[in-house]
Structure 1
Amino acid sequence: MTFRDHAPLSVLDLAPISEGSDPAAALHNTIDLAQHAEQWGYRRYWVAEHHFAAVASSVPALLIGQIASATRSIRVGSAAVQVGQTTAVSVAESFGMLDVFHPGRIDLGLGRSGQRRAEAAATPAGPVAISAPTPSRLVDGVVIPEPLDVTALLAHSPLARSFEVLTQPGAQPPDFDEQVDDILSLLDGTYTSPSGQELHAVPGEGADVQVWIFGSSKGQSAHVAGARGLPFAANYHVSPGTTLEAVAAYREAFRPSSVLAEPYVVVSADVVVADDDDTAQHLANGYGQWVHSIRTGHGAIEYPDPATAQPLPADQLALVADRLETQFVGSPDTVVQRLAALGRLTDADELVITSVTHDHADRLRSHELLAKAWGLI
């Protein structure tokens, strides 16, 4: 499928907590943004899963139910459930229940972070040095940074050591492909337990949910999505240096299925849109500090006020340089041009945007301006 400059746009939301605000306000803002996104023509509204951070999207299934109840037609889903921290049965039953109340509107996005985090934790601890950023490539108008490996940094950070409470003591994340297989089997009614017993998820079996695989590299997630003929979401906004190889690996591994006859790719981008470039740049001030808090493993800080956010020193800037230069910031025309270039380069079928600002009104305006410039309204 060839990318169209005005292919569908969707929204990814973390329910960020702004500096001086609280989780309750963040969650109410999420509902408000979802209602506006539906009015403005966005196709989907996805929520992320994060823990021990200043974002309120910690329980995707519960938040999805609230969003779906407050909207009428927009698809609502997870981006993504971290399956290494739960069981296949829990996932199938939770999303089966969502489908009962909101039939045909639920997307079940699955992510490998739990397993990946366990693998990273097994790496030897030691000093981690982040060198000066390597010059990025400009490929057909899209910035492609050199991949930044922060595995050791995240594996031995204060936040990483707290993840042990997300699973039962002694529990080991199962293989991602095996867990995806279990979830699909529970949904289609063919699941058999390790002991050979047929089991049926109630609710869950027969649920009309759309299963997605999310990935940031050419690793297991891309291969699982392709081999199983499932749609794939590539995280340019998280790992811009590995997006092209992730999409290529997915397409190479793709096999037609009852779900898809050909690959279907969604690519994410982080955007801030305002009436003019200068205003957008001001609103994006503080993004670097926010990303730095995530990448150093301390968890996202409350999103800074752009009026008081302080510039990052050079050593901290090196850790987030790839994210800063791949954030799409500017007027509607500026951002549309960059999004279209990303879509053409990746041959995406759809783009999903995440837009975070300190003030909720500015975040609403960012989504509205983009929807109008993209032709959704």
Structure 2
Amino acid sequence: MTLSILDLAPIKSGHTAAEALHETIDLARHAERYGYRRYWLAEHHFARGVASSAPAVLIALVAAATSTIRVGSGAVQLGHQTPLSVVEQFGLIDALHPDRIDLGIGRSGQRRGEIAAAAAKPAGPAGKRPAQVVDGLLIPPPFDFAKLIKHPHFAHQATFLQQPGAQTPDFAGQIDDVLALLAGTHEVPAVPGEGARLRVWILGSSGGQSAQVAGERGLPFAANYHVSPSNVLEAVAAYRAAFKPSETLAEPYVIVSADVVVADGEDRARELAKGYDLWVRSIRTGTGAIPYPTPAEADAHVWTAEDLELVKDRVDTRFVGTPEQVAGRLRVLRRVTGADELLITTITHDHQDRVRSYELLAEAWNRP
């Protein structure tokens, strides 16, 4: 199976974080039965609608509740922790669940600083890259983060997630430390962690340093079509251009993410997907993900032209429909990006609808 799952442990409107975590455990068990390759947990903070704030803890719980599916992070935000702490956490999980744990790493802290610096510069010529369709795949215009970084939550990222005065080291050096600690060649030991059979991944949303580091160190790379669809081709191309064979990989290995909702009928799928637009709006306005809305709550929102533009790239690149429709669009995504594997995120207000979406997709994907 070349499909995997990325879960945020979404908290639904009218429900609790505890319910969301129980649903994550239940979904992971179903995913294992359906044949999904891996089950990754995200790291999010300052969001009332997401319970996945400590991926290492949640990965340990999911791994204990399953037996064969690979479990990992998508991604640990390395700007908030030291390489030693990350290797020790994941080494501990690997000690109890060997050969099943993926350590997916993101650049976080440095990326925020770069966005802030870019937004502070004078605006360039009017206009931005228009939407384009590449061999059947929509590549929307880039999202402008200028307004988002002015929200107080953006400043809180550094204030509350790092010790006072802490500075995030260069990402390449952090990755080298992670690899050395795992290999036992670092000047300090990581126990547990040293010798752990973790698969290290780099996640990235552009053709910048994450893609470069992943390629140069011969690591597998995960590109975000579901978060930054405008940059996915650039990210994958930069990774492949930088790739050097390693003990881990002889050739590049790419996983690409996508937002998906599947139901038995197209109308039903679109009804289940209604809360997504409003949920993305809450993220893009800087307040953090709200509890995932019901279709009725989504219908009650009065949309402005500015609102619609704010979420357009994410909404237009979400795959919603019948199993055959969605599987077909995912095959286009895989073909155009050259992905070896696809990473699926599905959120609906009703848990059983979410489970059913993954079941229908697995069945359609495995049919000739």
TM bucket, shorter chain: over 0.9
The answer to whether 1:102 aligns with 2:93 is no
Answer with 284-293 or 98-107: which moved more: 284-293
The answer to whether the 8 Å contact 1:133/1:321 transfers is no
Counterpart of 2:189, as a letter, is H
Higher relative contact order by CA 8 Å / sep ≥ 6: 1 or 2?
A: 1
Offset of 1:141 from its aligned partner? 1.5
Number of residue pairs matched?
A: 362
Q: Which residue of 1 aligns with 2:86?
A: 91
Distance 1:279 1:32, change over 3 A: same
Mapped to 1, the partners of 2:127 and 2:118 lie a distance apart of: 23
SS at match of 1:204: coil
> What are the residue-to-residue correspondences of 1:29-108 with 2, within 5 Å?
29-53=23-47, 54-108=49-103
Q: TM-score, normalised by structure 2?
A: 0.95
Unaligned runs of 5+ in 1: 1-6, 192-197
SS at match of 1:333: helix
Q: Which residue of 2 aligns with 1:215?
A: 204
The answer to whether the 8 Å contact 2:142/2:230 transfers is yes
Offset of 1:134 from its aligned partner? 6.9
Q: 1:111 aligns with which of 76, 90, 106?
A: 106
The answer to whether the 8 Å contact 1:289/1:312 transfers is no
Unaligned runs of 5+ in 2: none
Q: 1:331 aligns with which of 319, 322, 337?
A: 322
Mapped to 1, the partners of 2:353 and 2:214 lie a distance apart of: 35
Offset of 1:319 from its aligned partner? 1.1
> What are the residue-to-residue correspondences of 1:179-198 with 2, within 5 Å?
179-191=174-186, 198=187
SS at match of 1:307: helix
Q: Which residue of 2 aligns with 1:160?
A: 154
The answer to whether the 8 Å contact 1:125/1:156 transfers is no
Distance 1:114 1:330, change over 3 A: same
Q: TM-score, normalised by structure 1?
A: 0.93
Answer with 319-328 or 140-149: which moved more: 140-149
SS at match of 1:159: helix
Offset of 1:153 from its aligned partner? 2.4
Offset of 1:125 from its aligned partner? 5.8
Offset of 1:154 from its aligned partner? 2.9
Q: Which residue of 2 aligns with 1:268?
A: 257
Distance 1:269 1:75, change over 3 A: same
SS at match of 1:229: coil
Answer with 141-150 or 35-44: which moved more: 141-150
The answer to whether 1:290 aligns with 2:282 is no
The answer to whether the 8 Å contact 2:4/2:38 transfers is yes
Distance 1:257 1:322, change over 3 A: same
> What are the residue-to-residue correspondences of 1:164-179 with 2, within 5 Å?
164-179=159-174
Offset of 1:14 from its aligned partner? 0.2
Answer with 8-17 or 279-288: which moved more: 279-288
Counterpart of 1:187, as a letter, is L
The answer to whether the 8 Å contact 1:8/1:42 transfers is yes
Q: Which residue of 1 aligns with 2:115?
A: 120
Counterpart of 1:339, as a letter, is L
The answer to whether the 8 Å contact 1:272/1:355 transfers is yes
Offset of 1:155 from its aligned partner? 2.2
Offset of 1:190 from its aligned partner? 0.8
SS at match of 2:176: helix
The answer to whether the 8 Å contact 1:283/1:357 transfers is yes
Q: Which residue of 1 aligns with 2:225?
A: 236
The answer to whether the 8 Å contact 2:38/2:71 transfers is yes
More helix by proportion, 1 or 2? 2
Encode CA deviations 1:253-306: one digit per residue, 9 max, x unaligned: 000000000000000000000111111111111211111111221100111101
Offset of 1:156 from its aligned partner? 1.8
Q: Which residue of 2 aligns with 1:359?
A: 350
Offset of 1:121 from its aligned partner? 3.9
Mapped to 2, the partners of 1:39 and 1:376 lie a distance apart of: 16
Offset of 1:173 from its aligned partner? 1.0
Counterpart of 1:9, as a letter, is L
The answer to whether the 8 Å contact 1:237/1:268 transfers is yes
Distance 1:255 1:173, change over 3 A: same
Offset of 1:326 from its aligned partner? 0.2
Mapped to 2, the partners of 1:124 and 1:109 lie a distance apart of: 28
Q: Which residue of 2 aligns with 1:4?
A: none
Mapped to 1, the partners of 2:113 and 2:206 lie a distance apart of: 17
Mapped to 2, the partners of 1:211 and 1:297 lie a distance apart of: 30
The answer to whether the 8 Å contact 1:93/1:202 transfers is yes
Q: Which residue of 2 aligns with 1:194?
A: none
**TM-align CA RMSD:** 1.9
Counterpart of 1:213, as a letter, is I
Identity of aligned residues (%): 62
The answer to whether the 8 Å contact 1:40/1:376 transfers is no
The answer to whether 1:12 aligns with 2:6 is yes
Offset of 1:122 from its aligned partner? 4.6
Distance 1:220 1:126, change over 3 A: closer
Offset of 1:118 from its aligned partner? 2.9
Mapped to 2, the partners of 1:225 and 1:125 lie a distance apart of: 29
Answer with 238-247 or 367-376: which moved more: 367-376
Mapped to 1, the partners of 2:117 and 2:24 lie a distance apart of: 36
